[in-house]
């Protein structure tokens, strides 16, 4: 097999995979089940696996590092096995010998049927229950395969990853199939463009911009255009190597850990603050001088090798200016899967290398470049203010997830208002930092209009201190529920129009969690389900998260809309399920067991398990309308949807489907 990763790297990912949550809910192996009846009260149980392209799924006879396939059938009085073997009959597997580990892999691709002969003892009430456990891999990562199934003689198959517990089971055969359309993460093409823009900013820094004419002049005298092209390629290769290293560290499966856990978020916040202080000019972040000297010493080598070391020296010398920008790209890629760090570094390095190669082909255009000067330091300081603002976002996420209560919405907004107001004062010349030259105020018309835009942004944020929604920033701000002074909420409460919903009982955890202003609801699935059953209303499930940017956008733009709120309050029992809450402990009556039999005692893990097991989803936001009687899906899932009319259609579809079930009173 041609492998991108070594076996040791794949082993490391597989061993430590359980420590991380999936960035996307991957299920590369799907199953179908059937019973083929045979003479003499015998039958053939067939478990058919369909394997996604490029994935492979290990055999029962896998004895090496990878996990073997294990079938477990639950004994009952309806059948016996025709033999005592622990193995199913399986098709011929593919073998691959790995010399590094002296290990032979045995696996399947595409499709595989596993069969077992059974003796039927009770045909009338016959059922076989069982589990399937194994491992599927693709180049660079592995995922566990777990299934719980139940199959009858007539071929009815029920699959569910959740064992029996105090939650209602979903009927999988009645669920419509949906493709996830949520925009929980920045698309790779957009991230590439953002990284490309970061590379252009890196070119304009004092460490890099003055090097352009010097480097172009060198290639005009030595080596010509071919060497200039290789110089640009070498810069890209250096940054791509950084991207590959980041991919190995922040690969698939790390996103949830990074997005919600307090350790990486606080670490990233500290890094951004350090970057900002460096850009302000109070100190420089530099690499050991021996690295730079050693690279520079190799520039004298002939040909392309010397050119490569010239490019490496540029990267090392410019480190103090470009690290805050390249570091922002790297942190933005953290947890985004294997490709994202590589795509980010590719975009950054292409923009960074482009001017050196371009002007080598068109040297006459060099005279049109602006002269080096104080404007480059102004750019650095402006980026410093922006990075300070970004640092607050990293603090805000664990603040919400762990209920610290440090950065409520108005505190967060106050800090942003101060940061960008100081930026405006700096651009006006009212503030100076260590490397700033004295410049006449309003010398640059561009800077003047930048000041207008900056102060307009500050003015836009100020009403948010009193509860204005600030829809343009909804994804960046803490949720409205953390706002201490909210005029809209006061108007609702004072006018007696807070909500048309009457909860069956007081919602647990309402002292720690809050619904969108104007909506009442529950925060636990079991409580909401019981209320929906007793009130005869469909159940509206909102799978959300403290660190979910797009959840905040939908809440501000859609769920706060009066028309949507009226539909929700009058026709549904609401339930907001936070999947990333790390703190809230469940009382015994609300605890459940996962598919491993482990007791889930905290709210976040329970909600995540319910979303994964009952609905085969794990993206947020995710909105599903459910019939409380049997758990069947009435409408959805709907994901990131900010169009009010489209969302209204989704709600009305759920209401209409519920009416058509003729189960409003039970």
Give the lowest-confidence range in 13-22, 149-158, 238-247, 294-303.
13-22
* Alpha-carbon dihedral sign for residues 649, 552, 566, 514: positive
Number of domains making up the chain: 3
Residue 599 β-bridge partners: 593
User: Of the ranges 36-45, 313-322, 470-479, 491-500, which is most confident?
Assistant: 36-45
Over the chain, what is the mean pLDDT?
A: 75
Residue 464 covered by a domain: no
Confidence of residue 494 (pLDDT cuts 50, 70, 90): very low
- 145 and 195: one domain? no
Q: What is the DSSP letter of 555?
A: I
What's the pLDDT band for 20 if we cut at 50, 70, 90?
A: very low
Residue 8 scores a pLDDT above 60: no
Average pLDDT estimate for 583-590: 85
Q: Which residues pair with 147 in a beta bridge?
A: 132
Q: Which residue in the block uniquely carries the two structure tokens 């909506």?
A: 519
Q: b/e for 535-544, b at 16 or more Cβ within 10 A?
A: bebbbbbbbb
Rounded to an integer, what distance in angstroms lies between the CA atom of residue 3 and that of residue 449? Answer: 53
> CATH number of the domain that 96 lies in?
2.60.40.1250
Q: Which secondary-structure segment (H or E) carries 326?
A: helix 319-333
Report yes or no on 455 lying in a domain: no
Among residues 113, 139, 159, which one ends one of the domains?
A: 159
Residues 6+ apart with CB under 8 A from 619: 24, 25, 180, 182, 184, 639
| CA–CA distance, 232 with 361 (Å, rounded to integer) | 12
Distance of CA 80 to the CA centre of its chain: 46
Would residue 167 count as lying in a domain?
no
65 and 125 together in one domain: yes
- Rounded Cα distance between 297 and 291, Å, is 10
User: Residue 228: which domain range?
Assistant: 188-407
Whether 245 and 381 map to the same domain: the answer is yes
The H or E element containing residue 624 is strand 622-626
Task: Express each pLDDT in 54-75 by its tens digit.
Answer: 888 889 888 766 678 889 898 8
- State pLDDT tens for residues 173-184: 333 343 333 334
Lowest mean pLDDT among 27-36, 112-121, 479-488: 479-488
d(CA 593, CA 164): 8
Nearest one of 71, 73, 82, 72 to 120, comparing CA atoms: 82
pLDDT at 540: 92
DSSP assignment of 542-553 equals: EEE-TT-HHHHH
Q: Give, as one character, the DSSP assignment of residue 497.
A: -
Q: Do 576 and 654 have their domain in common? A: yes
The β-bridge relationship of strands 127-138 and 70-74 is: antiparallel
Q: Quote the DSSP letter at residue 520.
A: -
Question: Is residue 564 located within the same domain as residue 646?
Answer: yes
Among 186-190, 247-251, 386-390, name the one with the lowest average pLDDT.
247-251
As given in the structure block, the two tokens for residue 258 are 């990074």
Confidence of residue 324 (pLDDT cuts 50, 70, 90): low
Instruction: For residues 572 and 654, give the distance between their C-alpha atoms in angstroms, rounded to a whole number.
Output: 10
Burial profile 7-25: b = 16 or more Cβ within 10 angstroms, e = fewer: beebbebbeebeebbbbee
Where does a domain end: 118, 139, 159?
159
Nearest one of 131, 124, 96, 137 to 13, comparing CA atoms: 137
Stronger pLDDT, 572 or 491, i.e. the higher one: 572
Residues 6, 9, 14, 17, Cα dihedral to 10°: -150
Is the pLDDT at 97 greater than 90? The verdict is no
Q: In this predicted structure, what is the pLDDT of residue 64? A: 66
Average pLDDT over residues 148-166: 58
93 located within any domain: yes
586 lies in a domain? Answer: yes
Mean pLDDT of 143-147: 78
Q: Is 558:644 a contact under the CB 8 Å cutoff?
A: yes
Tell me if 469 is assigned to some domain.
Answer: no
Instruction: Please tell me whether residues 119 and 196 are part of one structural domain.
Output: no
Residue 341 · residue 330 · CB < 8 Å: yes
Tell me if 463 is assigned to some domain.
Answer: no
Instruction: Tell me if 165 is assigned to some domain.
Output: no
User: Does residue 258 share a domain with residue 131?
Assistant: no
211 and 142 within one domain: no
Name the burial class of residue 609, with classes exposed (0-12), middle (13-18) and buried (19+) by CB atoms within 10 angstroms of its CB: buried
DSSP state of 524: S
- Same domain for 503 and 384: no
Q: What percent of the chain has pLDDT over 90?
A: 6
Is 608 a residue whose pLDDT tops 90? no
pLDDT-derived band at 350 (thresholds 50, 70, 90) equals: confident
Name residues whose C-beta falls within 8 Å of residue 48's C-beta, 6 or more positions apart in sequence.
Answer: 31, 32, 33, 34, 111, 112, 113, 114
Q: Are residues 277 and 350 in the same domain?
A: yes
Please tell me whether residues 137 and 229 are part of one structural domain.
no
The separation between CA 196 and the C-alpha centre of its own chain, rounded to angstroms, equals 21
Q: What is the per-residue pLDDT for 24? A: 40
Query: What's the distance, Cα to Cα, between the start and end of the chain in Å?
Result: 58
Q: How far is CA 469 from the centre of its chain?
A: 25
pLDDT score of 112 more than 90 = yes
Q: Which two tokens stand for residue 352?
A: 């960074």
Domain with 507 in it: what CATH number? 3.40.30.10
What is the reported pLDDT for 396? 80
**Rounded Cα gap, residues 250 and 244, in angstroms:** 10
Q: Higher model confidence: residue 479 or residue 621?
A: 621
Question: What's the pLDDT at 156?
Answer: 54
Residue where one domain finishes, among candidates 356, 382, 407: 407
Same domain, 146 and 214: no
């Amino acid at each position: 097999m041609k492998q991108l990763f070594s076996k040791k790297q794949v082993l490391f990912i597989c061993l430590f995979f359980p420590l991380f949550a999936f960035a996307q809910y991957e299920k590369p192996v799907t199953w179908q089940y059937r019973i083929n009846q045979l003479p003499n009260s015998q039958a053939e149980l067939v478990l058919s696996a369909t394997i996604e392209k490029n994935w492979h799924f290990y055999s029962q006879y896998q004895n090496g590092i990878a996990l073997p396939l294990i079938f477990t059938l639950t004994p009952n009085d309806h059948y016996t096995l025709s033999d005592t073997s622990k193995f199913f009959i399986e098709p011929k597997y593919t073998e691959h010998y790995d010399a590094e580990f002296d290990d032979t892999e045995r696996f399947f691709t595409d499709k595989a049927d596993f069969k077992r002969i059974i003796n039927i003892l009770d045909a009338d009430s016959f059922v076989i229950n069982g589990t399937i456990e194994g491992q599927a891999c693709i180049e660079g990562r592995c995922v566990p395969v777990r299934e719980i199934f139940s199959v009858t003689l007539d071929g009815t198959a029920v699959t569910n990853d959740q064992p029996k517990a105090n939650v209602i089971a979903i009927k999988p055969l009645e669920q419509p199939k949906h493709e996830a359309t949520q925009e929980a993460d920045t698309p790779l093409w957009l991230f590439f463009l953002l990284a490309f823009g970061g590379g252009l900013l890196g070119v304009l820094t004092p460490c890099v911009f003055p090097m352009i004419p010097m480097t172009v002049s060198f290639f005009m005298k030595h080596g010509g255009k071919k060497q200039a092209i290789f110089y640009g390629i070498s810069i890209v290769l250096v940054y791509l190597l950084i991207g590959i290293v980041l991919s190995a560290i922040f690969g698939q499966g790390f996103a949830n850990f990074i997005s919600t856990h307090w350790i990486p978020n606080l670490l990233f916040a500290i890094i951004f603050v350090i970057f900002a202080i460096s850009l302000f000019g109070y100190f420089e972040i530099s690499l050991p001088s021996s690295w730079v000297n050693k690279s520079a010493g190799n520039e004298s080598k002939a040909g392309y090798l010397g050119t490569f070391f010239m490019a490496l020296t540029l990267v090392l010398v410019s480190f103090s200016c470009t690290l805050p920008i390249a570091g922002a790209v790297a942190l933005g890629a953290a947890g985004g899967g294997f490709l994202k760090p590589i795509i980010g570094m590719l975009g950054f390095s292409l923009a960074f290398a482009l001017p050196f190669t371009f002007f080598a082909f068109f040297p006459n255009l060099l005279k049109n470049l602006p002269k080096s000067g104080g404007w480059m330091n102004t750019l650095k300081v402006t980026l410093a203010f922006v990075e300070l603002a970004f640092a607050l976002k990293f603090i805000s996420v664990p603040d919400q997830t762990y209920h610290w209560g440090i950065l409520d919405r108005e505190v967060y907004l106050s800090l942003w208002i101060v940061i960008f107001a100081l930026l405006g004062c700096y651009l006006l010349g009212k503030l100076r930092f260590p490397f700033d030259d004295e410049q006449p105020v309003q010398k640059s018309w561009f800077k003047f209009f930048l000041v207008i835009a900056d102060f307009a942004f500050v003015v836009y944020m100020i009403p948010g201190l009193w509860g204005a929604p600030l829809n343009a920033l909804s994804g960046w701000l803490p949720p409205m529920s953390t706002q201490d002074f909210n005029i809209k909420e006061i108007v609702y409460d004072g006018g007696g129009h807070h909500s048309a919903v009457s909860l069956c009982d007081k919602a647990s955890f309402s002292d720690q969690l809050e619904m969108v202003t104007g909506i009442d609801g529950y925060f636990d699935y079991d409580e909401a389900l019981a209320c929906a059953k007793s009130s005869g209303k469909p159940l509206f499930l909102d799978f959300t998260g403290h660190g979910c940017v797009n959840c905040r956008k939908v809440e501000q733009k859609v769920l706060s809309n009066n028309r949507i709120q009226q539909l929700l309050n009058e026709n549904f029992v609401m339930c907001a399920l936070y999947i990333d809450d790390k703190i809230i402990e469940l009382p015994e009556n609300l605890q459940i067991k996962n598919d491993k039999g482990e007791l889930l005692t905290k709210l976040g893990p329970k909600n995540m398990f319910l979303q994964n097991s009952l609905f085969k989803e794990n993206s947020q936001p995710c909105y599903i309308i459910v019939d409380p009687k049997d758990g069947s899906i009435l409408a959805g899932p709907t994901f990131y949807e900010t169009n009010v009319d489209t969302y209204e259609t989704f709600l009305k579809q759920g209401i209409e489907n519920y009416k058509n079930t003729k189960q409003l009173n039970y």
